[in-house]
Chain A
């Protein structure tokens, strides 16, 4: 139907002379985006963005698919990632602990060693002062000569000091003295024990700290050696000490940490190797464990697939008593039950078919005799007295009815038993229509109806069962003539896309709301009170619907009270192609609603005014809008394109056609309620947006958005 076919309505911009600007237009655009865009599959997004996303996603798709489909891969990958995390965490903690343990002991030992050393240095300086005190005091006035001697003494003293301090721990530590600041004169050049490069082994930052106070400070360093010996990590502890002249110098103890470093890297290496093994092993274990679970599940899936494909004897292999075995047992039990049930159903179906066939034969043979006898009597009725003659007539008439009822019942039960077979071959529906129309011509003449055929200029070929299609169309045309009240009946053919359609339109009493689906019910009658003047069995449309379904097609009805009805048969062009739309809209172009007629059949004059000046109605924001001419879009939506919105409910060929219950339909509203793609102002200024309407109206409108 067309109320929800917003996309198919071409409302040209030319039909709207004025267009509101600014906020209204923008908000309307946004609203349209959200309200109109989303139900149509969100196709409103920027095309560039979508293209980009697609381009990015494409190479990842196979991987993503594998990830989604392979539970084993997922579990193993998750296990690997998580165990890697755990191992890394553990490794850091352990290494930290080991490092602390190793270094703490070393640092403590070094500190006590250094403290001792500093004390010795001070003591030696004091000794030197007291030892050379007399000579020193005597020669204080000697000037440069004495000075030179003193510095000579200090150089010697320093060398001795370094020697004696470092002699305590050959290889365990080295001793370095440095002058404070740039004061390198007076024999106070840097010196160190055991080939240590004194200047580059002590970091500058440590020297600053040493010079800024008199306490001992420490720092990590690299001990650099002269003579090609490799440098090694170490701990430096330094302090400012005074020489025998009372001038300060820097004394450093350098403790190599090579041993500790070696132990630490050994621990690190061990941990890393162990961690790697653990991760790999955990992954392998996860893989094995998941495999144990997944393999039976996959087997079950494969067997389930084969089962659903119809191989009912497939069973799972069950070993052991674990959960998998239980799954297998349950699965097999299910398969067994399924097989039994299907077998039963097949048997039933076969029995039903057999029964129908037997009944058919057993009933038909005597009926043939009765039929022939009745006809012979009927032929001879002129020789009878009036009562007998009339009886003969009644007998013959009712036998006709009985026959067609029996035929229809057998046909329906054949459908019910699933015994109906389609014999599709390419047929030209125009031929079928021609035959049907010429067959219905006598009845049409009696009723004073003229049957018109439109759309038969070009071949309308589809793979179909000519016998069934003809039966469907005969039914539709005869129904249309019978309920058409002598008005024209129009048979319309069309082909588009993968579908062909035949619509039979009458202008008779039409259908009441809800009847559009019920007409297909078995033994349903439009008006129970009406005399059964026509000889229909009440099964015709049910059979027609089954015929349409057998083709994979649709049979749908539309109607409005007093406005006639339209029955549309849509068939796929080739037998195995699914239908997506119909070339003919279910609601005809000349329905009352589309023509803008109310039930009285008068054109509603005030209508256009309401629709064209919506602002006064709604009191909406913004300036007064120039009146818009109402669009009449339905007239331009020809039958040339398949109507994608005309899909029926799943599996049901019939379709409910909502109509205004109040019977009042304002034609201008509908075009306005359906914003054309290039008319963004429509949604914002619709009268329905503010003014409350009757429920049908707003339902229709909201669907139209």
Chain B
């Protein structure tokens, strides 16, 4: 089991009943939840509580979830899991593009939620010293850094994980489902839109020309693979 020091969760939700219920469930699983109900106050609460993960409702009074997500992402790579009542592609993609790592559609089961939170927190447990190259990038897995010609590129933990997963097996073509399992920790395939959006975000950061990717290459009809080193 992971260390509970790494279990602070900030719940941003205006529905008090749901927030309270989330608190009950999270505490039951050993997390330390803190709450904020207003989008305008979310950023302040985030800075104050320094959570390990943010649970963010998309529909909020004041600033909406998308905006809050963008603000948090601007200053931190902390995992963000969106709670959304809308499973329409547009809503999901907009949420993911604003910087969320994962999303969960209401109504969800407590176990599902906890599994997602654990999956997002898990990765920071095992920093094995390892050096990978992908394209002209050098990845220091333990040091959690990606460099091109000595210039470091800032990635969120999720984007980092995605890149590492591809770089570890440069000979393999990853289907979206496999990536979902390895990076997001889904056992059963969920939504491949997650992969699409995050690959695009990753490309926008690491590729010289995101229109013609060389690091993360699309294999049409199958998935993605690492570009040649």
A residues in contact (CB < 8 Å) with B: 357, 360-361, 364-373, 375-376, 403, 414, 419, 421, 423, 426-428, 431, 435, 439, 459, 461, 466-467, 470
Complex interface: chain A residues within 8 A of B15 (CB): 365-366, 369
Query: Residue B25 contacts which of A366, A376, A435, A459 (CB distance < 8 angstroms)?
Result: A376
A414 CA to B107 CA in the complex, in Å?
Answer: 18
**Interface contacts beyond A357-B86, A361-B59: sample of 4 additional A-B pairs, CB < 8 Å, sorted by A:** A361-B86, A368-B18, A370-B107, A426-B220
Least Cβ–Cβ distance between A423 and chain B, in angstroms: 6
- The 6 nearest A-B residue pairs measured at CB: A426-B221, A361-B85, A364-B106, A368-B107, A364-B85, A367-B107
Complex interface: chain B residues within 8 A of A466 (CB): 192
B220 adjacent to A367 (CB under 8 Å): no
| CB nearest to B91 among chain A residues | A357
Say yes or no for B17: interface residue by CB 8 A criterion: yes
Complex interface: chain A residues within 8 A of B222 (CB): 428
Complex interface: chain B residues within 8 A of A423 (CB): 89, 193
Complex interface: chain A residues within 8 A of B150 (CB): none
B86 adjacent to A368 (CB under 8 Å): no
Say yes or no for B24: interface residue by CB 8 A criterion: yes
Query: Residue A368 contacts which of B59, B108, B189, B220 (CB distance < 8 angstroms)?
Result: B108
Say yes or no for B21: interface residue by CB 8 A criterion: yes
A470 CA to B222 CA in the complex, in Å?
Answer: 16
Enumerate B176-229 residues with CB–CB distance to A below 8 Å.
177, 188-189, 191-193, 220-222
B107 adjacent to A403 (CB under 8 Å): yes
Complex interface: chain A residues within 8 A of B21 (CB): 368-369, 372-373, 376
B221 adjacent to A372 (CB under 8 Å): no
A373 CA to B22 CA in the complex, in Å?
Answer: 9
Least Cβ–Cβ distance between B219 and chain A, in angstroms: 10
Least Cβ–Cβ distance between A58 and chain B, in angstroms: 42
Complex interface: chain B residues within 8 A of A373 (CB): 21
A95 CA to B109 CA in the complex, in Å?
Answer: 105
Chain B window 19-46, contacts with chain A (Cβ cutoff 8 Å), 1 for yes, 0 for no: 0011011001000000000000000000
A364 CA to B91 CA in the complex, in Å?
Answer: 15
A375 adjacent to B85 (CB under 8 Å): no
| CB nearest to A466 among chain B residues | B192
Complex interface: chain A residues within 8 A of B18 (CB): 365-366, 368-369, 372
Say yes or no for B175: interface residue by CB 8 A criterion: yes
Least Cβ–Cβ distance between B173 and chain A, in angstroms: 12
Least Cβ–Cβ distance between A401 and chain B, in angstroms: 12
| CB nearest to B221 among chain A residues | A426
Complex interface: chain A residues within 8 A of B107 (CB): 364, 367-368, 370-371, 403
Complex interface: chain A residues within 8 A of B59 (CB): 361
A375 CA to B85 CA in the complex, in Å?
Answer: 19
Least Cβ–Cβ distance between B170 and chain A, in angstroms: 22
Query: Residue B109 contacts which of A360, A366, A371, A467 (CB distance < 8 angstroms)?
Result: A371
Residues of A contacting B: mostly: helix
Which of B18, B22, B188, B191 neighbours the largest number of chain A CB atoms within 10 Å of its CB? Answer: B18
Chain B window 81-113, contacts with chain A (Cβ cutoff 8 Å), 1 for yes, 0 for no: 001011011100000000000000011111100
Complex interface: chain B residues within 8 A of A426 (CB): 220-221
A373 CA to B89 CA in the complex, in Å?
Answer: 29
Query: Residue B85 contacts which of A360, A419, A428 (CB distance < 8 angstroms)?
Result: A360
**Given known A357-B86, A375-B109, contact A435–B221 (CB-CB < 8 A):** no
A431 CA to B173 CA in the complex, in Å?
Answer: 14
A428 CA to B223 CA in the complex, in Å?
Answer: 11
A365 adjacent to B25 (CB under 8 Å): no
Report the interface size for chain B: residues with CB under 8 A from the other chain. Answer: 31
B28 adjacent to A439 (CB under 8 Å): no
A376 adjacent to B191 (CB under 8 Å): no
Complex interface: chain A residues within 8 A of B111 (CB): 375
A372 adjacent to B106 (CB under 8 Å): no
Complex interface: chain A residues within 8 A of B22 (CB): 372
A466 CA to B106 CA in the complex, in Å?
Answer: 22
A241 CA to B59 CA in the complex, in Å?
Answer: 133
A376 adjacent to B86 (CB under 8 Å): no
B110 adjacent to A369 (CB under 8 Å): no
Complex interface: chain A residues within 8 A of B85 (CB): 360-361, 364-365
A376 adjacent to B28 (CB under 8 Å): yes
Least Cβ–Cβ distance between A603 and chain B, in angstroms: 45
Least Cβ–Cβ distance between B207 and chain A, in angstroms: 20
Least Cβ–Cβ distance between A444 and chain B, in angstroms: 16
Least Cβ–Cβ distance between A106 and chain B, in angstroms: 99
| CB nearest to B14 among chain A residues | A365
**Given known A364-B107, A368-B108, A419-B88, contact A467–B221 (CB-CB < 8 A):** no
| 26 residue pairs from A and B, CB less than 8 Å apart | A357-B86, A361-B86, A364-B107, A365-B106, A367-B107, A368-B107, A369-B17, A370-B107, A371-B109, A371-B110, A372-B22, A372-B24, A376-B25, A376-B28, A376-B110, A403-B107, A419-B88, A421-B89, A426-B220, A427-B221, A428-B221, A431-B175, A435-B188, A461-B221, A466-B192, A467-B191
Least Cβ–Cβ distance between A281 and chain B, in angstroms: 67
Least Cβ–Cβ distance between B104 and chain A, in angstroms: 10
| CB nearest to A411 among chain B residues | B87
B106 adjacent to A368 (CB under 8 Å): yes
Least Cβ–Cβ distance between A354 and chain B, in angstroms: 12
A361 CA to B84 CA in the complex, in Å?
Answer: 8
Least Cβ–Cβ distance between B55 and chain A, in angstroms: 12
**Given known A368-B107, A369-B15, A403-B107, contact A431–B24 (CB-CB < 8 A):** no
A294 CA to B108 CA in the complex, in Å?
Answer: 65
Least Cβ–Cβ distance between B62 and chain A, in angstroms: 17
Complex interface: chain B residues within 8 A of A467 (CB): 191-192
B88 adjacent to A435 (CB under 8 Å): no
Complex interface: chain B residues within 8 A of A371 (CB): 107-110
Complex interface: chain A residues within 8 A of B189 (CB): 435, 470
Complex interface: chain A residues within 8 A of B221 (CB): 426-428, 459, 461
**Given known A366-B17, A439-B188, A467-B192, contact A372–B175 (CB-CB < 8 A):** no
A461 CA to B222 CA in the complex, in Å?
Answer: 10
| CB nearest to A370 among chain B residues | B107
Least Cβ–Cβ distance between A623 and chain B, in angstroms: 62
